[in-house]
Amino acid sequence: MATSKKLKEQEPGEEPFAAEERAYCKKRAALLQRYQGQFVALYRGRVVGHGPSDEDLARQMFEKFGDAPFLIQRVEKKPTVYEVPSPEVVR
């Protein structure tokens, strides 16, 4: 007998993108084992794509889901932090 997995719903009042971030955090340990060093895409709490390029993955997700909120995150032990100067500072 086939069963279907119910897609995770967001918490009441939670922004859709925040729901995807929460799902990523819950799955992080398993994602590290399977996808370390790759980018993963999450939609409705599920991994719906992965690969070495965030740009290629984003293109695939926009083709598949349109403007729906999804998360693309690099799976790594220690998250990379990017410092971007404020536009007011750069002249």
In 3-state terms, what secondary structure has residue 47?
strand
- Provide Rg for the chain, Cα atoms: 15
Q: What is the pLDDT of residues 25-79, one digit of tens each?
A: 999 999 999 999 999 999 999 999 999 999 999 999 999 999 899 999 999 999 8
The pLDDT, as a whole number, for residue 4 is 38
Strand stretches in the chain, DSSP E: 39-43, 46-51, 71-74
Structure pTM? 0.74
For the chain, give the longest Cα–Cα distance: 64
The pLDDT, as a whole number, for residue 89 is 59
The pLDDT, as a whole number, for residue 2 is 40
Answer positive or negative: Cα dihedral of 21, 32, 44, 11: negative
Can you give the residue ranges of every domain in the chain?
16-74
